[in-house]
Amino acid sequence: MDKLLIRDCIIIFAVLLTSFTDIFRDTKIKPESTPSVHAKQNNGSIHVDTNPESISVLVNNLHKLPENYSPSELIYADIPFVFQEKTEKQKMRKEAAEAINQLFTEARTQGIYLLGVSGYRSHSTQTVLFNNYVSKDGYDKARTYSALPGTSEHETGLAIDVTGGDGRCPAEDCFGETKEAIWLEEHAAEYGFIIRYPKGKEAITGYKYEPWHLRFVGKSIALKIMKKRITLEEYFHAEPVNK
């Protein structure tokens, strides 16, 4: 009697094991697709970048920097600015600062005189700046030309706004018609910079045309982007912002 009971238990166990295996095979979890550009999804739409120190890090309204992120190796760029006092706006990541120094130097030899307007901004500075724009123009309009805290390229230390040597048109559309802007369009990539927000790409970048906003991504990527006349989003095949 005991032998029969043991045999029946073995048979029942084998049936259950086979059924469990079939169920597991049919319902096993498929691996999630890897989000683009070292980013992990957060709250269903915004991605928090997991490699913010990368020179080619993608930062926009859909890809934000980690909370309390502060870039390493910030140094003062050795270029003239539209102001004299020492502030954080004169700082950039070391590699970007050295590249902008070279760009300014070479531009001068070709009769192109540039001034820095705004480089690095801390998270707290970006917060104050954005809130001021909201108070002035309202939230929706502010979003078209200013980044939410955590989504500004200036917080990476890899971006800088520039203008012509006469100080006219700082962060204004009229800069796009100047000889300085034309020179940057043609030569910025040679020093690792791209015009980050090109004309006609607003739906992809989320921002209007900004010929004054330079972003350091390294020579290899910059030359590819500027040659193809695409954006950093398109280079990484990232989703358009579509604001």
Q: And the tokens for 47?
A: 């991605």
CA distance 58 to 232: 7
Question: Which one of 153, 155, 210, 233 is the catalytic residue?
Answer: 210
User: If you compute the radius of gyration of the chain from its CA atoms, what whole number of angstroms results?
Assistant: 26
Annotate 14-79 with DSSP letters as a single string.
HHHHHHHHHHHHHHPPPPPPPPSTTEEEETTTEEEES-TTSTT---BTTEEPPTT---SSEEE--S
Rounded to an integer, what is the distance from CA 127 to the centroid of its chain? 17
State yes or no: is 210 an active-site residue: yes
Active centre residues (catalytic): 210
